[in-house]
Amino acid sequence: GFDLAHSPTLAAIEEARALFADATWTAAPVLAGDVNPEAEETVSNPTGGTSPGTVQPASEADVATALDNAAAWDAPLDTRRATLLRAADMLEERYGEIFAILAREAGKGLPDCVAELREAVDFLRYYAGQATNTPPAGIFTCISPWNFPLAIFCGQVTAALAAGNAVLAKPAEQTPLIAKLAVEVLHEAGVPRSALQLLPGGGKVGAALTGDARINGVAFTGSTATALHIRANMAEHCAPGTPLIAETGGLNAMIVDSTALPEQAVQAIVESAFQSAGQRCSAVRCLYVQEDIAEDLIRMLTGAMQALNMGDPWHLSTDVGPVIDDTARKGIVEHIEAARAEGRVIADLKAPEGGTFVGPAILRVGSISEMKREIFGPVLHVATFKSHELDAVIDAINATGYGLTFGLHTRIDDRVQHVSERIEAGNIYVNRNQIGAIVGSQPFGGEGLSGTGPKAGGPNYLPRFSAPDHQDASGTWESA
């Protein structure tokens, strides 16, 4: 293994690549009972390389088996904590296999693989430390997206487990293999099967797992549209008051005023808009630049974008990998082409052949209010503003109804205060890149259409996985 506080050596990375370049994995339901899955399907590789393996989606019978056999994890608190900590160590040790699966199943680049494993392990250790003897909610369904298929999956599942629940975990249909590995590790570490069952599959499986009266809570991360479906499904089938913890999409903005350090702003924008091929929920989608610096800043930004390399995410020389699948690619390309037809493309790059690549693009918009949906790819929209329009820009950003991340680059102290008091966003980034969070010290989560709260990786998260009488949204909590 390697110390996750440091990056793995190139030799360790090359060794892992050689070991797992042609390996295949399979994911099938992992149940505390008999398994009767649907027919095997091939898992796609967004880079265009060989498939990383196959998946057998859970059937209706599998969902019934999982619900029938789910049992809260009633081990003593010390055992639960030690088990989760052991699982964290075991995950770190399997870094080579994890990177290979993330690269071949999700198209993740090496820096993203390292960051994702670190976040997953941080979640395990943090929630292990937060666990208390408070009674669990009961059965918790956890539904995760493909864009952080290890970190978010582990975050939800271990929060629910740390609180002592029985977990029914459904990973995104695009990324079942990394979820299977995580569940395998948790079981090997000592989590009983009845407390953690894996149900791969798509929306149908998700709907079955959120539309049953035996469910005592749902943790969901994904699009706002799916969260609204789940809420309606739960209202129809679950007991009144069954909690839904939803972390959803955003239309994230950044304001750069004429006092900002241009190089710092450009670096921050490029990282936030284009790294991970723009497939981070925190990514900046709409940049507001003050008019008097707009021409210079956009020229610098275009130059920086044109220097990006696209290609095989396993290479350190690659800056932008593929988007997750062809449906995603088509939707993003259509959006760029519609802008081109209106003469709004400032600059864009040609995507390489093979795989589901999208060339990064910078598009002009008049206002964020023209953006009707989150474009989940490497596309940055740019608008300009005059000094006296700052409050109107803040109003327009708030009027989208989303409230996930927001960035500000300025060197006026009062302005930092003014803007951050008025912007409605869960995470605000000042004079730095607009990316992610740090488990423990920077909890992450949105407001409005971007999520229900509480923030993941923060002190208020775990209590929401406890029995309703014991939930305390303020974050103060009786210790064991």
- In single-letter form, the type of residue at position 73 comes to W
Shorter beta-carbon distance to ligand NAD: residue 220 or 385: 220
CA pair distance 106, 277, nearest whole angstrom: 11
Q: Return the DSSP state at 353.
A: S
User: How much helix, strand and coil, in percent to the nearest 5, is found in the chain?
Assistant: 40, 15, 40
Shortest Å, Cβ 215 to ligand NAD? 12
Shorter beta-carbon distance to ligand NAD: residue 204 or 418: 204
- In single-letter form, the type of residue at position 29 comes to P
> Would you count residue 446 as binding ligand NAD (CB under 6 A)?
yes
User: 244 to 263, contacts with ligand NAD by CB under 6 A?
Assistant: 247-250
Handedness of CA 109, 173, 145, 158 (dihedral sign): negative
> Which H or E element spans position 188?
helix 176-189
Phi, psi of 357 (to 5 degrees): -90, 145
CA pair distance 381, 384, nearest whole angstrom: 10
- In single-letter form, the type of residue at position 286 comes to C
CA pair distance 27, 185, nearest whole angstrom: 14
Write each residue from 210 to 239 as x if it is in contact with ligand NAD (CB under 6 A), else as -, in one continuous string.
Answer: x----------xxx--x--xx---------
Shortest Å, Cβ 208 to ligand NAD? 8
The interface region with ligand NAD, picked from 72-80, 82-90, 446-454, 468-476 by CB under 6 A, is 446-454
> Which H or E element spans position 14?
helix 10-20
User: 394 to 423, contacts with ligand NAD by CB under 6 A?
Assistant: 404
Shorter beta-carbon distance to ligand NAD: residue 275 or 410: 275
Shortest Å, Cβ 286 to ligand NAD? 14
The interface region with ligand NAD, picked from 169-177, 256-264, 305-313, 329-337 by CB under 6 A, is 169-177
Indicate which residue of 92, 105, 119, 247 is catalytic.
247
| Token pair listed for 160 | 């629910």
Shortest Å, Cβ 200 to ligand NAD? 9
Shorter beta-carbon distance to ligand NAD: residue 172 or 408: 172
Shortest Å, Cβ 419 to ligand NAD? 22
> Would you count residue 44 as binding ligand NAD (CB under 6 A)?
no
CA pair distance 99, 16, nearest whole angstrom: 8
Shorter beta-carbon distance to ligand NAD: residue 212 or 348: 212
In the complex, residue closest to ligand NAD by CB? 206
Q: Binding residue for ligand NAD (CB under 6 A) from 76, 129, 202, 354?
A: 202
> Would you count residue 323 as binding ligand NAD (CB under 6 A)?
no
Indicate which residue of 281, 286, 374, 447 is catalytic.
281
Shorter beta-carbon distance to ligand NAD: residue 234 or 300: 234
CA pair distance 198, 31, nearest whole angstrom: 7
Phi, psi of 152 (to 5 degrees): -70, -40
> Would you count residue 376 as binding ligand NAD (CB under 6 A)?
yes
| Residue 281 falls in the annotated catalytic set | yes
> Would you count residue 320 as binding ligand NAD (CB under 6 A)?
no
| Residue 247 falls in the annotated catalytic set | yes
Shortest Å, Cβ 174 to ligand NAD? 7
> Which H or E element spans position 182?
helix 176-189
Burial of 308 (0-12, 13-18, 19+ CB in 10 A): middle
- H-assigned helices in 34-109: 60-69, 77-93, 95-106
Shortest Å, Cβ 445 to ligand NAD? 6
Angle (nearest 5°) at CA 284 between 283 and 287:
170
Shortest Å, Cβ 328 to ligand NAD? 8
The interface region with ligand NAD, picked from 12-20, 31-39, 294-302, 443-451 by CB under 6 A, is 443-451
Give the pairing of strands 139-143 and 166-170.
parallel
CA pair distance 41, 54, nearest whole angstrom: 5
Q: State the maximum Cα–Cα separation within the chain, in Å, rounded to a whole number.
A: 67
Write each residue from 141 to 160 as x if it is in contact with ligand NAD (CB under 6 A), else as -, in one continuous string.
Answer: --xxxxxx---x--------
CA pair distance 392, 40, nearest whole angstrom: 53
Catalytic residues: 247, 281
Contact set with ligand NAD (CB under 6 A): 143-148, 152, 170, 172-173, 202-203, 206-207, 210, 221-223, 226, 229-230, 247-250, 281, 374, 376, 404, 444, 446, 450-451
